[in-house]
């Protein structure tokens, strides 16, 4: 599988095709449907069995025009900030909101200035801490501002929030992501601002703390729509009801084509099955690719999958998710007990021989497969280097050019090999 | 050092400065001198001691106009190929060479068609084998065509050679690199052709094996000139004569700014010393940064360094080289006996804690420090992921945009920490 994969690098071609099939793959959008149609045809063309959609009810939200001007003084022309609505935000009126700004670094700081927040736009400007080696941890430390910032600020009478984008890089690309309102708390508009623009705004506030921002967000909620997860199998020859799942999520944020997040995981899942067929392996157990819908708005697809009627009579042994980008894969992660990893340490040299220098490690999992864990399924996943992930994450930068064909393929190969072993030997 | 390095990412700023200081840093060029001047000032500004040049006599070679047109038939307009002269090649006359082409994949194939080669341009079109996991091995398997192709072809009366560029990628950027003539064998012009253009040429030859190529190379040799290695120290407080060297090479191929090869190694060496000073460490032994001249044309600077009069009274314990690009560092490599690695395995968790997932491994070394090994010096080096290296190597693509600031910095941090330990504890 290594030689075929590296020679053909088909995962990258598939990713190009997926991206070309849909303008944006935001949950509930026509693009997401187009992507499902496209990938269904890809699976059929590759000869997968049991190719079908399983219904998922999702919520449709759409972004519209989004602008933010800083009016620093009557003498100066307005400064445009690069902003985007956070996912799930309410819009402003068409005229927008014009209000003064209060800049804070934390919920504590917000609380200590709660009187000052009334009638203002709260600007959460805490940079991701780049001295934290593990980028997901640095992200985790700040993501709360994005998710809960609007609710917290609204409690003190704020009229909108603007969040510094979650990336280590300084650039002019805003990064979106999910936000949530709280019941009983006013729903105020929430936007992200690019890091360079955040620094600029902070500088302008230093000169004039009374400046006004004119914020316009045209985003709207359209309520529930029918969508789907997409499934394709290599049917097991001896125990077809026992399933090894490999999945990613087909929906993506709408600012870019979601090449890493999670186009990569989708095409790696499909490519893994293709590689297994390409070497002529007929698995004893079923190896399944699942493209989940609606990971980004909270993992609806994963919950629907776990409880779908089609699961009756199926027994999932392991579910692998690839949703950390198509970067250089360093390890295959496996959850479950430490004893399980111990028992299967023999796989580690094999995985290392595929170029994943850490081999088999404890870890993996993901939003889409998490509901399966409640049914006792062992979770695993691909663990790539995370150093570049947030450079692109949820922004227009997450495009095909950000993906390296060979790195993407190595991930697919590792998933193919690991799933094949489990299909033959069990776990 | 980790926090300071990651926070400031100064290696990348230094790399930007180095690149801005010189148009090209080809051995013997004015740009190479400008780069030495610039980096000398950087070392002085950072407070290094013993900052000085040590003379190196190098050869100056310069590329000129370089063109290749395929004249496939009188009815069709000529097809332009993206070519570049290989380093050290003789030029053609101003009118160029116009000759038919013979395409081969190996020296064996050339030998089997030796009658056919007379009066022709030999086109070595063996793609790098992408199914080989380790890119340096795939490169090594083909590099002989570039280095010896002209000499071998000239033995059979060929008038020039064109070599398929050494990269996994299909694009229109030719990759240069050193070639060598053989005494007593005619010196014929040698060029590299971009991979897409190689495929195109191969296709055209399939249609018409009689087609002509019109090749013009304006490159010229200017003979020996005086250049230098650049040295800067953190002087050891207890055993200043014992030296831990960290180095890269300041010369670079002239098609691009040599950001990875080896601007990265230069700035990582300097940044390593800066980080050690920044945390206030006064090393017991001397830690030295060396920017070597003329690695690309055969490692002259390394040989001059090893035998320079300044070495008298100095004792080098270890020499680290960073010359595999500023990519994600995976390990610090250390040569010497297996027992040495065993003895210092305690360093491995520390190196892993800096984000280098493989920790301390057997390996390292490099062209510039190799002459020191003959004096019993232990060689080591930074071992980054090699998957992207040949995408950029020796081509116009090797520019600042190809370098990730955080990955570059992690390499500098790992070198700083490892050198510091050895400076305090010995080896």
Please tell me whether residues B278 and B392 are part of one structural domain: yes
**Of the candidates A193, A270, A195, A238, which has an alpha carbon nearest to the alpha carbon of residue A17?**
A270
Of A133, A357, A387, Cβ closest to residue B404: A387
Residue among B8, B10, B11, B131 with most chain A CBs within 10 A, to mutate: B131
Q: Tell me whether residues A133 and B387 touch, CB distance under 8 A.
A: no
Alpha helix segments (H runs only) across B156-217:
195-207
- What is the value of ipTM here, to two decimals? 0.95
For A408, name the nearest residue in chain B, comparing CA atoms only. B387
Same domain, B277 and B361: yes
**Cα separation values, B333 from A185, B324, B329, Å:** 57, 12, 11
Residues B124 and B212 in one domain: yes
And the tokens for A17? Answer: 């095709």
Whether residue A340 sits in one domain with residue A421: yes
Q: Is B7–A328 a contact, with Cβ atoms under 8 angstroms apart?
A: no
Residue pLDDT, tens place only, A261-291: 999 999 999 999 999 999 999 999 999 999 9
Residues 6+ apart with CB under 8 A from B82: B172, B173, B174, B193, B194, B196, B197
Residue that terminates a domain, selected from A179, A200, A218? A218
Residue pair A275/A413 in contact by the 8 Å Cβ criterion: yes
pLDDT at A73: 81
Query: Regarding beta strands A97-104 and B378-384, do their DSSP bridges make them parallel or antiparallel, or are they unpaired?
Result: unpaired
With tokens 């609007």, the residue in question is A150
CB A267 within 8 A of CB A14: yes
Q: In chain B, pLDDT over 90 holds for what percent of residues?
A: 96
Q: A173: burial class by Cβ within 10 Å (0-12, 13-18, 19+)?
A: buried
Cis peptide bond upstream of A262, omega within 30: yes
Q: Which of B100, B118, B113 is nearest to B215 (CA)?
A: B100
pLDDT tens digits, residue range B401-413? Answer: 999 999 999 999 9
Contact status of A328 with chain B (Cβ, < 8 Å): yes
Q: Which position among B54, B152, B295, B409 bears the catalytic label? A: B295
Q: Which residues share a beta bridge with B224? A: B59
Beta carbons of A131 and B407 less than 8 Å apart: no
Q: What percent of chain B has pLDDT over 70?
A: 100
Pick among A130, A356, A359, A411 to test the B interface (most B CBs inside 10 A) = A130
Q: Could you tell me the pLDDT band of residue B76, with boundaries at 50, 70 and 90?
A: confident
Q: Where would I find the H helices in B228-288?
A: 264-278
Please report residues of B whose CB lies closer than 8 A to that of A9.
130
**Interface membership of B401 toward A (CB under 8 Å):** no
Domain tally, chain A: 2
User: Which are the contacts of A206, defined by CB distance < 8 A and separation ≥ 6?
Assistant: none
| Residues B279 and B209 placed together within one structural domain of the fold | no
What is the distance between the alpha carbons of residues B218 and B63, in angstroms, rounded to a whole number?
6
pLDDT at residue A89 in the model: 98
Question: What is the rounded average pLDDT for all residues in chain B?
Answer: 97
Residue at a domain's end among B218, B246, B268: B218
C-alpha–C-alpha distance, residues B232 and B14, integer Å? 15
Among A299, A296, A291, CA closest to A252: A296
CA angle B262, B265, B266 (to 5 degrees): 90
Residues of B in contact with A355 (CB under 8 A): 133, 387
Of A2, A168, A330, the CB nearest to B406: A168
Q: Three-state DSSP class for B181?
A: coil
pLDDT of residue A337: 84
Q: pLDDT at residue B337 above 90?
A: no
CB contact under 8 A, A357 and B357: yes
For residue A338, the model assigns a pLDDT of 83
In Å, how far is A281's CA from the nearest CA of chain B?
A: 20
Query: Are B131 and A330 inside 8 Å of each other by CB?
Result: no
| A152 and A167 co-located in one domain | yes
Q: What is the CATH number of the domain that holds B294?
A: 3.40.630.10
Q: CA–CA separation, A321 vs A419, rounded Å?
A: 12
CB nearest A328 (choices: B7, B385, B410) = B385
Distance CA B289, CA B50 (A): 11
H helix and E strand count, chain B: 14, 16
Chosen domain end from A179, A197, A218: A218
**Would the CB atoms of B130 and A406 count as touching at under 8 Å?**
yes
- Given the residues A295, A296, A321, A407, the one annotated as active site: A295
| CB spacing of B358 vs A357 below 8 angstroms | yes
Beta bridge partners of B164: B193
pLDDT tens readout for residues B255-312: 999 999 999 999 999 999 999 999 999 999 999 999 999 999 989 999 999 999 999 9
B125 CA: distance to closest CA in chain A (Å): 17
Bridge-based pairing of strands B239-249 and B97-104 is unpaired
Residues A211 and A314 in one domain: no
3-class DSSP state of B408? helix
Give me the residue from B3, B358, B388 closest to A131, CB to CB.
Answer: B3
Which of B3, B387, B406 is facing A387, going by the closest CB pair? Answer: B406
Q: Provide the residue range defining the domain that includes A122.
A: 65-218
Which residues of A are less than 8 Å from B168 in CB distance?
406
Task: Compute CA distances A379 → A264, A382, B206, B215, B353, whole Å.
Answer: 19, 11, 52, 59, 26
Dig out the tokens for B202 from the structure: 């191969």
Phi, psi (rounded to 5 degrees) for B362: -75, 130
Q: How far is CA A137 from the centre of its chain?
A: 16
Contact yes or no for A133 and B406 at CB 8 A: no
Contact residues, B window 4-23, toward A, CB-based 8 Å cutoff: 6-7, 9
Q: Which residues of A touch B9 (CB under 8 A)?
A: 130
Using CB atoms, which residue from A3, A131, A407 is nearest to B7? A131
Q: What is the rounded distance in angstroms from the CA atom of residue A278 to the CA atom of residue B294? A: 47
Residues A143 and A234 in one domain: no
User: Are both B111 and B46 inside the same structural domain?
Assistant: no
| Residue of chain B minimizing CA distance to A168 | B406
Q: How far apart are CA B111 and CA B164, in angstroms?
A: 18
Pairing of β B160-164 and β B121-124? parallel
Residue B116, domain CATH: 3.50.30.30
Catalytic, B80? Answer no
- Would an 8 Å CB–CB cutoff place B355 in contact with chain A? yes
A328–B387: do the CB atoms touch at under 8 Å? yes
* Each residue's pLDDT expressed in tens, for chain A with a length of 427 residues: 999 999 999 999 999 999 999 989 999 999 999 999 999 999 999 999 999 999 999 999 999 999 999 998 888 889 999 999 999 999 999 999 999 999 999 999 999 999 999 999 999 999 999 999 999 999 999 999 999 999 999 999 999 999 999 999 999 999 999 999 999 999 999 999 999 999 999 999 999 999 999 999 999 999 999 999 999 999 999 999 999 999 999 999 999 999 999 999 999 999 999 999 999 999 999 999 999 999 999 899 999 999 999 999 999 999 999 999 999 999 999 998 888 888 999 999 999 999 999 999 999 999 999 999 999 999 999 999 999 999 999 999 999 999 999 999 999 999 999 999 999 999 9
Q: Please tell me whether residues A152 and A207 are part of one structural domain.
A: yes
Residue B350: left (phi > 0), alpha (psi -120 to 50), or beta?
A: alpha
Domain match, A208 and A107 both: yes
* Sign of the torsion formed by the C-alpha atoms of B240, B251, B403 and B170: negative
Residues of B whose CB is below 8 A from A7: 130-131
Q: Which of B131, B330, B354 sits opposite A6 (nearest CB)?
A: B131
pTM: 0.97
Instruction: State whether residue B411 sits within 8 Å of chain A by CB.
Output: no
Q: Does the pLDDT value for residue B336 go beyond 90?
A: no
Record: contact B357-A358, CB cut-off 8 A: yes
pLDDT of the residue at B25: 98
Residues A295 and A384 in one domain: yes
Q: Residue A188 corresponds to which tokens in the numbers above?
A: 């105020």
Mean pLDDT for B149-157 is 98
CB neighbours (10 Å) of residue A44?
A: 12
Cβ-contact B100, B212 below 8 angstroms: yes
Backbone angles phi, psi at B376, to 5 degrees: 85, 10
Give the 3-state DSSP-derived string for B32-63, with helices as H, strands as E and coil as C. Answer: HHHHHHHHHHHHHHCCCEEEEEEEEEEEEEEC
């Amino acid at each position: 599988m290594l030689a075929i994969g590296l020679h053909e690098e088909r995962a990258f071609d598939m990713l190009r095709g997926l991206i070309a099939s849909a303008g944006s793959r935001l949950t509930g959008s026509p693009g997401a449907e187009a992507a499902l149609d496209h990938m269904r045809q890809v699976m059929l063309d590759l000869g997968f069995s049991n190719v079908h959609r399983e219904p998922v009810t999702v919520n449709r939200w759409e972004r519209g025009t989004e602008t933010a001007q800083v009016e620093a003084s009557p003498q100066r022309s307005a400064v445009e900030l690069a902003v985007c609505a956070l996912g799930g935000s309410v819009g402003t009126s068409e005229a927008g909101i014009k209000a003064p700004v209060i800049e804070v670094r934390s919920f504590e700081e917000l609380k200590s200035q709660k009187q000052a927040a009334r009638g203002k736009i709260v600007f959460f400007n805490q940079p991701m801490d780049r001295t934290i080696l593990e980028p997901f941890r640095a992200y985790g430390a700040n993501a709360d501002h994005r998710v809960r910032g609007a609710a917290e600020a609204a409690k003190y009478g704020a009229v909108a929030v603007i969040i510094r984008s979650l990336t280590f890089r300084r650039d002019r690309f805003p990064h979106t992501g999910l936000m949530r309102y709280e019941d009983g708390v006013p729903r105020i508009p929430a936007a992200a601002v690019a890091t360079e623009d955040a620094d600029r705004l902070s500088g302008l506030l230093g000169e004039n703390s009374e400046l006004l921002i004119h914020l316009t967000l045209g985003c709207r909620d359209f309520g529930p729509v029918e969508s789907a997860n997409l499934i394709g199998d290599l049917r097991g020859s001896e125990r077809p009801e026992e399933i090894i799942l490999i999945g990613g999520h087909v929906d993506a944020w709408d600012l870019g084509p979601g090449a890493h997040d999670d186009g990569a995981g989708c095409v790696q899942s499909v490519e893994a099955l293709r590689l297994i067929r390409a070497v002529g392996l007929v698995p004893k157990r079923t190896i399944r690719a699942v493209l989940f819908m609606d990971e980004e708005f909270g993992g609806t697809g994963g919950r629907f999958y776990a409880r779908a009627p089609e699961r009756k009579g199926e027994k999932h042994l392991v579910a692998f998710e690839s949703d950390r980008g198509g970067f250089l894969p360093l390890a295959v992660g496996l959850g479950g007990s430490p004893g399980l990893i111990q028992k299967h340490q023999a796989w580690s040299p094999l995985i290392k021989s595929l170029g994943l220098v850490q081999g088999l490690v404890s870890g993996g999992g993901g939003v889409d497969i998490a509901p399966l864990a409640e049914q006792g399924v062992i979770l695993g996943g691909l663990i790539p280097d995370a150093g570049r992930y947030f450079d692109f994450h949820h922004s227009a930068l997450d495009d095909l050019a950000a993906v390296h064909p060979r790195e993407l393929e190595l991930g697919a190969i590792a998933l193919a090999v690991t799933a094949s072993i489990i299909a033959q030997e069990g776990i």
